[in-house]
Amino acid sequence: MQYRNGKATELFDKVYDRLCSASLAGFSVLVMTFLYLPVLILIVFSFNDDRSLTLPLTGFTLRWYVSLFSNADLLAAIYNSFYVALIATSITLVIGVPAAIALDRLEFPGKTVFRRLVLLPIALPGVITGVSMLNLFKLMGMNLSLETVILGHATGLVSIVVTQVFARLQRVNRSVEEVSADLGARPYQTFFFITLPNIKTAIIGSALLSFTVSFDEIPVTFFLTGRENTLPMYIWSTLRRGITPEINAVGTLIVLSSLVLIIVSVRMLRDTDKR
C-alpha cells in the first residue's frame, strides 16, 4: 500500500512539474509576444505596397526605404539624433568615469550626499529636467540649439555611467592593483593596464545605454531644441498627421541597428570575460 502511494506521489510530482514548466513556457511566450509583436508589425508594414496601414497586405515593396533616403528633412533629423547622442555619450563618459573612480577610491566631505545626488537627474521626470535646463539657458543668454540639447541629455545620462562604472569598481580586486604598484608601475600605468580592462565592460555597457536613451529622448529635447529637429521630434510631429510608411521604414532600420549593437556588445563582453 505504501509502495502504491509512493508511486502515485511520484507520478503526481512529475505531472505537476510538467504543468509548471508548460505554464511558465506559455507565460514566457505571451510576454515575448506582447513585447515584440508591435515591432514585428512595424517591420512587416514597412514592406507593404499600400500606403494605408490596413490588412490585408497588398504586396511587397522597397519604395518606402527609397522614399526615406530621398527625404532631406528625415535624413537631417537622423543625422542630428546621431550627433546629439554621440556627443552627449562622450561627455557623460568623460565626466562619469572619473566621478565613479573618485567615489570608489577617494574620501572627501559630502561623499555620501554626492553619491545620492548623482542619481537625481535620471530619477527626475524629463519634463522637470527640460524646464530647469531651459530656465538656466535663458538666464545665461544661450540660444536653443542642438548643443543645448546635448547638455540637457548629458546632465541626465551622467548618472547612468557613474552607477554602472562604480558598481563594477566595487568588484575589482584591489590586490592586483597593489601588486602592479609594488612592481614599479606608475599610477597611470596601473590604471590603463589593470583598472581600465576590468571596468571596460561597464564603460561599454553604460555608453550603449546612454546612446540609446539620448537617441530616443523626447521631453528634454522638446524644451531645449531650436530650429533643428532630432529624429524622435520629427516622428512626433509627423504622427500628428498619421503614421506613414516612411516612419515604419526608419523604425525598422533603427531596430536592426539596435540589434547589431546588442550583438556586438554581447560579443565584446563575452570575449572580455573569457580573457
pTM: 0.77
pLDDT > 70: percent of the chain:
83
Torsion of CA 77, 79, 81, 82, to 10 degrees: 170
pLDDT in tens, 118-154: 777 777 777 788 888 888 888 888 888 888 888 888 8
Q: Please state, in angstroms and rounded to a whole number, the distance separating the CA atoms of residues 36 and 33.
A: 5
pLDDT in tens, 247-260: 778 878 887 877 77
The per-residue pLDDT for 2 is 45
The list of the chain residues with pLDDT below 70 reads: 1-13, 15-16, 50-55, 57, 177-178, 181-183, 188, 241-243, 264-275
8 A C-beta contact, residue 218 and residue 232: yes
35, 40, 196 from 29: Cα distances, Å: 10, 15, 40
Phi, psi of 137 (to 5 degrees): -65, -35
